[in-house]
Structure formats: C-alpha cells, structure tokens
Structure 1
Amino acid sequence: MKNGVKVLIVEDDAIISMDIEQRVKKFGCEVLGVVDRAEKVYSRIKEKLPDIVLMDINIKGESDGVSVAEKLLEDYSIHVIYITAYSDMSMKERAMKTEPLGYLVKPIRESELVEMLEYAITKIDT
C-alpha cells in the first residue's frame, strides 16, 4: 500500500528536508512537496490532499507545527507525524493532543522513519 501514499513534508531546514524527501521516496511513497512555513502548508493542502504530513514542530511563519497540525486535523482530518529536534515535555504534551500518527526526534534514522511510515500507513488504511 505504500505505493500511492502521498506525503507532504513540512521542514524549514533545506538539508534535512532533502534528506527526508529522498528517504520517503526510497520507501516508495509519493512526495507532494516540501514546504518551509505554516502559510504554505494550507495552499499545498488545497492543491493535493496528502495521506500523511511529516511536520517539523518549529517552522517559519506565524504558526508552529502543532498549530498547523491542529488545523489540519480539524479542517481536513489529516494526521501528522511530528519531526523535531526538541524533546521538551510541555511541547510534546501539546503535540500529542493533535492525535499524531507518531513522533520522531532529529536526527532521524532511516529505520525509524520507515517504521513510522509503515505504522502510519496501517492507521490511515483502517
């Protein structure tokens, strides 16, 4: 089922986003694009609805990744996999309220990303 699964990557570090994009494609998912700020997420979502959003918590723009994820869940029923360099407990608690498909801490190991994508695919498939 991974073929045909559409993924949007929200990451404001160009090197990290390119690495994630390559890994997601290698896994067999379609990457709808990479965006680096909150405002761009909404226009990309309107163009093509992704199945999964890989969401950095700290992104450029007026909103952080958790705020964007809240809106995606509320308006589009899209769940995210959070990606962050921070393991701040209060941020994690706030993020968990958005019913994420998972939570990855940077630096992301390929095995962890693949495992999380496999899990997310089973969740969106049911």
Structure 2
Amino acid sequence: MRDLPLVECCAPLAGAALSTDDAAELERLLKALADRHRLRILNILMRADGDPVCVCEFQPALGISQPTVSHHLKQLTEAGLLEREKRGPYAYYALAPGALDRVGSLLSETAAAAPR
C-alpha cells in the first residue's frame, strides 16, 4: 500500500469571526426586530422622517390593542432601537440615532467573516 499525500479538506476562513459580544448584541437586536408589528412600527417611524410619533398614532395604524402596542414599543426601546420622549400625558417615539446602522454594521461584519 502506498502513502497518499495529505490534503487539507477546507480552506481557512477569511476575515475575523464575529465576536461573542457582537453576536450577542446582534441576537438581541434581531429578536427585537423579529415581529411583524415591530417591523411596521419601525416603518412608520422611518416614514416620519425623524419626527417623533405619538403613541396614540400606532394603535389605529397597526390594528392591535393599545397594551399590545405599548409592549412592542417597550421591546424596541429596551433594545436601543427607539427613543421615548414624554410630552404631558403622551409619549412620543423616534428611531434612536444610528440604531439601524448598528444592525447593518454587525451584519456586515458577519458577511465579511463568512467564507467566500
């Protein structure tokens, strides 16, 4: 029996892998985004062109109960995607500056780390 040459089975991965901390942050952000109502809330806020939107405007636009709207707004706020401003009895929400850019940058890091 003759000896066969040793061949490497896989090419090394290109680029740096996503760090554990960045992966955890991306997971948290994607969990917050992984709901159709939350995505629609973000869409409403994006169409507002940076102007804060009153909490009272989401319920009719989404067709869900006010407590459910509040739950979704809380999830997005706690994830750092929204900012909340109290004006008298009403709360106004706006996209947090750079929040969606952070999601994009983490995904870009993931894509850069993936093998080609």
Instruction: Work out whether the TM-score is over 0.5.
Output: no
TM-score category of the 2 structures, normalised to the smaller one:
under 0.3
**Under a length normalisation based on structure 2, what TM-score does the superposition of the two structures give?**
0.25
**Relative contact order (alpha carbons < 8 A, sep ≥ 6): 1 or 2 greater?**
2
More strand by share: 1
Larger CA Rg, structure 1 vs 2:
2
**Under a length normalisation based on structure 1, what TM-score does the superposition of the two structures give?**
0.24
